[in-house]
Amino acid sequence: MKYLSGCILFLLFSLNTFCQKGIEVGANIGLSYYFGDLNTNYNLSRPGPSASVVLRRNFNERVSIATVLTYGQISASDENSFNTFERIRNLDFKSTVYDASFTMEFNFFPYVHGSQDYYYTPYLLGGFSFMKFNPTSELNGVKYDLRDLGTEGQSGGTVYGLVSGAFVYGFGFKMDLNRDWSLNVQLTGRNLNSDYIDDVSQDYPDFVTLESRNGAEAVALSNRATDPDFAFQGLQRGNGKNNDVVYFFNVGIMKYFGTLPCPTITKGYY
């Protein structure tokens, strides 16, 4: 409790020492990575593209908040697993994701746009986001929305949602190119409140009931095992104890709009 109180007092003090006011607007491009039931060994061989737009509000040379809207593509396949069980399971998915994050950033060094001395810094960030996803897979050349097929026997109120909250964390590096423009490099993770971004979480369902409810395609996409005797009702299909995680690695350019009311922190300007 004392530690938490100290952090809150520090942030309140920081927010009230307005040595640099202004906003930054920019855009990033980069890569998306998924880790979950279909990528348990943290395989990095299937990155997807990502892009984002950023709005950052600077309170001073140490603290800022940012709103980021991110588009990404993620995918995974048991074919890439080192685990024998997972290779026989033979599941896969793809999804486009849309993420809206709200974070607070803390600069390790004083950072002032236009300064000849304080023009770069690594930083940490933390906050929350909301992510929209929709896992899909192909069967005989046709793409299917897996949630609609209830591949683990879901129906009615047990069908999972396609929007999840997430805890956001990460670190980055920012550096002035001149007074108005800066280069930003950032790695951020999203720990989702959902384990279904890949459509895999629990056990194999009763295939007879699944077929009568959602058709033969639902059974074929629920059980894609290479061994016909592998899957049966109740066999663990995924690990519901661990939720899914998505990472974004981005590089971008930011444009600064603001004033510098405390020039004494710097020795000169460009």
Delineate the domains of the chain, giving CATH numbers in brackets: 18-134+158-197+246-264 (2.40.160.20)
269: pLDDT confidence band, cut at 50, 70 and 90?
very low
Residue 20 confidence (pLDDT) above 70: no
Q: Contact 22/259 with Cβ under 8 angstroms?
A: yes
Q: Contact 174/250 with Cβ under 8 angstroms?
A: no
19: pLDDT confidence band, cut at 50, 70 and 90?
low
pLDDT digits (tens, 9 = 90+) for 178-197: 989 999 999 999 999 999 99
Share of the chain above pLDDT 70, in %: 88
Q: Contact 162/132 with Cβ under 8 angstroms?
A: yes
The per-residue pLDDT for 63 is: 95
Long-range contacts of 152-156 (CB under 8 A, 24+ apart): 152/199, 152/200, 152/201, 152/202, 152/203, 152/204, 152/205, 152/222, 152/237, 152/238, 153/205, 153/206, 153/209, 153/210, 155/213
> Residue 211: phi, psi to the nearest 5?
-65, -40
CA–CA dist 147, 101 (Å, integer) = 24
CA distances in angstroms from 168 to 86, 188, 206, listed in the order given: 29, 7, 37
Least confident of 91-95, 149-153, 265-269: 265-269
The per-residue pLDDT for 77 is: 97
Token reading at 261: 């009311």
CA–CA dist 218, 234 (Å, integer) = 17
Q: Contact 176/113 with Cβ under 8 angstroms?
A: yes
Give me the sign of the Cα torsion angle 97, 51, 115, 179: negative
Token reading at 180: 């108005």
1: pLDDT confidence band, cut at 50, 70 and 90?
very low
The per-residue pLDDT for 262 is: 56
Contacts of 172 by beta carbon, 8 Å cutoff, 6+ apart: 105, 122, 123, 125, 184, 185, 186, 187, 188
Residue 7 confidence (pLDDT) above 70: no
Token reading at 254: 């930011």
The per-residue pLDDT for 260 is: 59
What's the average model confidence in pLDDT over 200-215?
Answer: 96
Contacts of 113 by beta carbon, 8 Å cutoff, 6+ apart: 20, 22, 119, 176, 179, 180, 182, 256, 258, 260
Token reading at 22: 């202004």
Q: Contact 131/101 with Cβ under 8 angstroms?
A: no
Q: Which residue has the tokens 């897979």?
A: 137
Token reading at 96: 């486009």
From the list 46, 49, 24, 42, the residue with the least C-alpha distance to 249 is: 49
Q: Where are any strands of DSSP class E within the chain?
A: 21-35, 48-58, 63-77, 92-107, 120-132, 136-139, 142-145, 163-176, 181-192, 245-259
Compute the mean pLDDT over every residue in the chain, rounded to the nearest whole number. Answer: 90
What's the average model confidence in pLDDT over 39-64?
Answer: 95
Residue 266 confidence (pLDDT) above 60: no
The per-residue pLDDT for 2 is: 46
